[in-house]
Amino acid sequence: MIDIRQARDNPDGLRAALARRGVPASEVDRLVEADAAARVAAGKRDDTRARVKELSRLVVGAKRAGDTERAEQLARESRLEGETLKAEEAAADDAADEVRSLLLTLPNLPADDVPDGTGPDGNVIRERWPEKGLVYEQHQRIPHWDIGKELGILDLERGAKLSGSMFPLYRGMGARLLRALTSFALDHHRDMFEEVRPPTLVKTETMMSTGHLPKFADDAYHLERDDLWAIPTAEVPLTSMFRGEILLENDLPVCLTAYTPCFRREAGSAGRDTRGLLRVHEFDKVELFAYTAPGQSEELFTTMVTRARELLVALGLEHRVVALCAGDMGISAARTFDLEVYAPGCDQWLEVSSISWCSDYQARRAGIRYKPDDGGPARLVHTLNGSALAWARIWAALVETGRHEDGSVQLPDVLSPYLGGELLIPRKD
């Protein structure tokens, strides 16, 4: 969450920054007013607390002096002040909770170089690979859901029978392809990123730390009996690995990678791009994540974008890098680049990675700090996250791009070690 001092010291600047994200000035006004009320309530509580402490000291002094009547009078006053203190403590807690509640719903401030805009139309294409684009034949213009059914590698009907719509079932080489992609990515990142296998179900405070709660509760799967949430991305548990801890600056950056299944209800996407693998409730993904000191974050952001693109180039997938505008970024991001691949069968650009620098927004929610080498006070870390890569749409783009005229599908050479050299998905006779 944002620093409350920004609302106290520069409310106009905060209004201007959040306006770029579509937040009305009235939301900042509410925060400023709630914070002022909370500080007044805390002041009254502290004054009463000091008065109770002083009365207790005077009671002890009166008893030592043998002034029983004075001691009893002071004790009565202390008890009355104590009742007042209980009420004022409750009021101060409620006021502080109101401030925190407002802070939890406000997005991060966009970096200065983030494009202005209110939605996807404001996003800016920064790079493309290859620069002139690939040329696709008619046999590559078949959508992956038809290819998958024809080759027996994607069974959407049985997936729906098992779990409902938008839960795909992969078979044979389709399932092996997912496993190969995961191993390929993890091996690619292991020189710099420590592999982690986090839990798939997490506590509410773990989801709160990233910003997924409370704002996106409707898009998440919640197990009410155990009060656990199915993770929408490995970013969620990785962000909380060091929740409430103090790291050493000398140990930063901490770079992590994880493969996990990811679960999203996609509550707001009914009827939009729901065919095949374009939008699913469960998908596999390899995540990159880093804790950094502030001065390290820019380089790590560039590194994460580069690593994700290296995978796309190796897989031979046409792609582009898109800088998201202020109004289209996720709640926690200060800067986000999306990587989109072109799927010729769908004739669409599909987002396969979203790489974000979150500044200290998540660290403030999670209480993650580092101790500077110079011995100064502990400071908040910065967090960065990104997919490298999310496989459902990569799978779709690969089978469409690699389709031959006879209906078989050729897979990229880089996957050969993970598929036992079998790179051709043959047509079923």
Model confidence over 9-57: pLDDT tens digits? 999 999 999 999 999 999 999 999 999 999 999 999 999 999 999 999 9
Q: Report the share of the chain in percent with pLDDT over 90.
A: 97
Task: Give pLDDT tens digits for 377-407.
Answer: 999 999 999 999 999 999 999 999 999 999 9
Q: What pLDDT, on a 0 to 100 scale, did the predictor assign at position 392?
A: 98
Examine the domain organization and report whether 75 and 128 are in the same domain.
Answer: no
Averaged confidence pLDDT in the chain: 96
Examine the domain organization and report whether 258 and 177 are in the same domain.
Answer: yes
Domain CATH number, residue 96: 1.10.287.40
Burial of 329 (0-12, 13-18, 19+ CB in 10 A): buried
Please report whether residue 393 resides in a domain: yes
Examine the domain organization and report whether 144 and 250 are in the same domain.
Answer: yes
Please report whether residue 171 resides in a domain: yes
Q: What pLDDT, on a 0 to 100 scale, did the predictor assign at position 428?
A: 83
Domain CATH number, residue 289: 3.30.930.10
Q: What is the mean pLDDT of residues 107-113?
A: 97
Q: How confident is the model at residue 273 (pLDDT cuts 50, 70, 90)?
A: confident
Examine the domain organization and report whether 85 and 145 are in the same domain.
Answer: no
Helix locations, 315-390, DSSP H: 361-366
Cα distance from N-terminal residue to C-terminal residue, the chain? 57
Q: What is the mean pLDDT of residues 197-201?
A: 98
Examine the domain organization and report whether 387 and 286 are in the same domain.
Answer: yes
Distance CA 380, CA 382 (A): 7
Examine the domain organization and report whether 98 and 131 are in the same domain.
Answer: no
Task: Give pLDDT tens digits for 341-362.
Answer: 999 999 999 999 999 999 999 9
Q: How confident is the model at residue 304 (pLDDT cuts 50, 70, 90)?
A: very high
Boundaries of domain holding 31: 4-105
Q: How confident is the model at residue 271 (pLDDT cuts 50, 70, 90)?
A: low
Q: What pLDDT, on a 0 to 100 scale, did the predictor assign at position 270?
A: 60
Examine the domain organization and report whether 162 and 46 are in the same domain.
Answer: no
Task: Give pLDDT tens digits for 215-261.
Answer: 899 999 999 999 999 999 999 999 999 999 999 999 999 999 999 99
- Of 76-90, 147-161, 265-279, least confident by mean pLDDT is 265-279
Q: What pLDDT, on a 0 to 100 scale, did the predictor assign at position 268?
A: 59
Examine the domain organization and report whether 181 and 278 are in the same domain.
Answer: yes
309 in Cβ contact with 322 (< 8 Å):
no
Distance CA 145, CA 346 (A): 10
Please report whether residue 129 resides in a domain: yes
- Provide the CA 223 distance to its chain's centre, in angstroms: 20
Distance CA 265, CA 164 (A): 12
In the predicted structure, residue 315 carries a pLDDT above the cut 80: yes
Please report whether residue 397 resides in a domain: yes
Is 83 strand, coil or helix? Answer: helix
Q: How confident is the model at residue 284 (pLDDT cuts 50, 70, 90)?
A: very high
Total of domains in the chain:
2
Please report whether residue 110 resides in a domain: no
Examine the domain organization and report whether 158 and 303 are in the same domain.
Answer: yes
Please report whether residue 115 resides in a domain: no
Distance CA 119, CA 94 (A): 36
Q: What pLDDT, on a 0 to 100 scale, did the predictor assign at position 244?
A: 98
Examine the domain organization and report whether 194 and 288 are in the same domain.
Answer: yes
In the predicted structure, residue 2 carries a pLDDT above the cut 70: yes
Please report whether residue 114 resides in a domain: no
Q: Report the share of the chain in percent with pLDDT over 70.
A: 99
Q: What pLDDT, on a 0 to 100 scale, did the predictor assign at position 373?
A: 94
Which structure tokens are listed for 175?
């399932």
The tokens 């494009």 sit on which residue? 115
Please report whether residue 52 resides in a domain: yes
**Predicted structure pTM score:** 0.94
Give the residue from 213, 143, 409 showing the smallest Cα distance to 221. 213
Examine the domain organization and report whether 203 and 124 are in the same domain.
Answer: yes
Task: Give pLDDT tens digits for 176-187.
Answer: 999 999 999 999
